[in-house]
Amino acid sequence: MEKKNRKIGIMGGTFDPIHIGHLILGEAAYEQFGLDEVWFLPAGNPPHKRNRAGRAKDAQRVEMVRRAIASNPHFVLCTKEMKDEGYTYSYRTLEAMRKEHPCTEFYFIIGADSLFYFDEWKNPERICAAAKILVATRDRAKEKELLACMERNAKKLHGTFLKLDTPNLDVSSHELREWIREGKSVKYYLPDSVISYIQEQKIYQD
């Protein structure tokens, strides 16, 4: 039987590859908001990232997440979007989760870069109805601009936007893929278990 009043964080992303920034965000959300678990949700087929040449396969992205979070008991791998056909949208995924777990309160974690165009996502008001939005500072977003955008979105979309206090780690999966292609070290940016898997599978080395 499902525990009542659970608080679950949802960390979505292509995770191509998952890196230390993702893990720190998940842990910060867990601590700051007293979450029971943080579910890492590898994106299935997001419409805004259609050209995936030179990227990891779906099964490889899932395995990298599995390895990265293996040592953390409150991190959980959620492969829900891997089973969907066609394009995957956050509002559909979150609504399905709410239906499956009616006693759970969901917290959807996004970066400041996503916040600034959040109202252009597919049905953002339905995302807000299904979950509270945790906004993490990223890309050196100015505090004043960030808070103003959160307030605008909250009014426009009738949602709850909460600031997630995290160190501003200027690292991206795109940059790390380039480093791997160029033979540069990514040690400490990725968990060792993920680095060894990338080397074994020869991912991003084309």
Amino acid at 119: D
Segment holding 9, helix H or strand E: strand 6-13
In the numeric block, which tokens belong to residue 9? 């964080």
Would you state the pLDDT for residue 120?
94
The whole-number average pLDDT for the span 70-97 is 89
201 lies in a domain?
A: no
200 lies in a domain?
A: no
175 lies in a domain?
A: no
Predicted confidence (pLDDT) per residue in 113-159, tens digit: 889 999 999 999 999 999 999 998 765 667 889 999 999 999 999 99
79-109: b or e for each residue (b if 16 or more CB lie within 10 Å)?
ebbbeeeeebbbbbbbbebeeeeeebebbbb
113 lies in a domain?
A: yes
140 lies in a domain?
A: yes
- Structural domain boundaries enclosing 117: 6-170
Q: For residues 53 and 66, which has the higher predicted lDDT (pLDDT)? A: 66
DSSP reduced 3-state for 116: coil
- Does position 22 have pLDDT exceeding 90, yes or no? yes
206 lies in a domain?
A: no
Total of domains in the chain: 1
Segment holding 65, helix H or strand E: helix 58-69
- Does position 197 have pLDDT exceeding 70, yes or no? yes
Residue 54 is part of a domain; what is its CATH number?
3.40.50.620
Instruction: Determine if the pTM surpasses 0.85.
Output: yes
The whole-number average pLDDT for the span 86-93 is 85
Per DSSP, the residues of 142-178 read -HHHHHHHHHHHHHHHT--EEEE--------HHHHHH
